[in-house]
Amino acid sequence: MTDASVERIESAPALKRGVEVWYALLGGIGAWTVHLLYFASIEHWTKLHESYGWTMHAVTVLCVLATVIAMLLAWRLHVVASGSDPESAGDAGQLLFLAQLGLLIGAINLALILLEEIYALSIPHG
């Protein structure tokens, strides 16, 4: 852990800090939500028009990428804040807690996205 790195993240402008911290925490949830809603809305259409089936796979790739980026940001926060106590009230402890939570949330949402893709591959068409 470097105090300078933690201080740089904490004192960053709101938009930059939002991307570095909050996207790391919530990006996977957003990606899974987009994936779930798209699949729910397009499934019947792709059954009627099979030529649009590729869009389901393209959205899966985009959502997986969005989730992996969120997990990479969470991992970066974890590296920056490593060595601190996640239960402490200090900035480094809070970042470590958010990083650990972001990695867990990202892994769960990545699994959900991939499970939905497996389901889409097993849907009988025609």
The domain segmentation of the chain, as residue ranges, is: 3-8+19-122
> 90 versus 58: which is more confidently predicted?
58
Q: Where are the beta strands (DSSP E) in 1-126?
A: none
37 and 115 Cβ atoms separated by less than 8 Å: no
Average pLDDT over residues 40-45: 85
Alpha helices in the chain (DSSP H): 3-10, 14-17, 24-48, 54-81, 91-122
Among 61, 77, 71, smallest CA distance to 107 is for: 71
Q: pTM for the full model?
A: 0.85
Dig out the tokens for 54 from the structure.
């590729």
pLDDT score, position 15: 77
Q: How far is CA 94 from the centre of its chain?
A: 19
